[in-house]
Amino acid sequence: MKYLIVGLGNIGPEYELTRHNIGFLTLDRLADQKDCKFEVSRLASHTDFKFKGRSVHLIKPTTYMNLSGKAMKFWMNELKIPKENVLVVVDDIAIPFGKLRMRGKGSSAGHNGLKNIEELTGGQNYARLKFGVGDDFPRGRQVDYVLSNFTKAEFEELPFSLDKAIDMILGFCSIGISRTMTQYND
C-alpha cells in the first residue's frame, strides 16, 4: 500500500514560518522524526519512508500554494497512488489555532491551494487534514494574516499540535480515515 501526503505551503525563506506554510512545517517535522530528507524533484520536494508495511510519500509542492494541484496530480500519477490514499495538510482560518480536523471530502472554503487541487484532480473527494491557524485579523486582511509569522505564544504551542498532526497522518495511513477522525478530531 502506498500513501501520498501533500503538505501545502509556499517555497522561499520569507514564507517558512508563516501560518500558510503549516503543511510544509508538519511534513518537515514528520520527515525529521522518520530520519528522511527531502530532495527537490519534479514540481515538489519529495521523501518517503516505510510505516507498518506501507510506503508513505511526502511532498511539498514547489509550485507555490495556488498551483498545488499540479504537483499533487503529477505525484499521484507518477507513484500510481489512488485519490483515496492521498491526504492534504492545509491551514484553516475557520478553526482555532492548534486545533486539527480531518475530513474525507469538502469544499475549498476559498482556499486557493484547495481550489487548484479540486480543478486539477476532479472534485472535492480527497482527504484533508485541516490545521487551525485562527482568524485574529481585521476584515479584509486575511492574506496578510496567513502570510505572517506565528506569534511567540503560538510558536511555543506549535510542537504539540504538529505532533498530533503527525499522529493523525500516520493514523490515516494505518487505521484509515474513519477511525483516525473518531480518535483525533478536535
Which pLDDT tens digit goes with each residue over 43-62? 999 999 999 999 999 999 99
Mean pLDDT of the chain: 94
Strands 54-61 and 44-51, bridge-based pairing: antiparallel
Task: Name the β-bridge partners of 36.
Answer: none
Q: Report pTM.
A: 0.95
Residue 91 in this model has a pLDDT that exceeds 90: yes
| Ramachandran sector of residue 43 (left: φ over 0; alpha: ψ -120 to 50; beta: rest) | left
Report residue 5's pLDDT band, with 50, 70 and 90 as the boundaries: very high
Report the percent of the chain where pLDDT is more than 90. Answer: 83
Average pLDDT over residues 115-120: 94
- Based on the residue annotation, tell me whether 111 is a catalytic residue of this protein: no
Q: Which three cell numbers stand for residue 25?
A: 512545517
pLDDT recorded at residue 109: 83
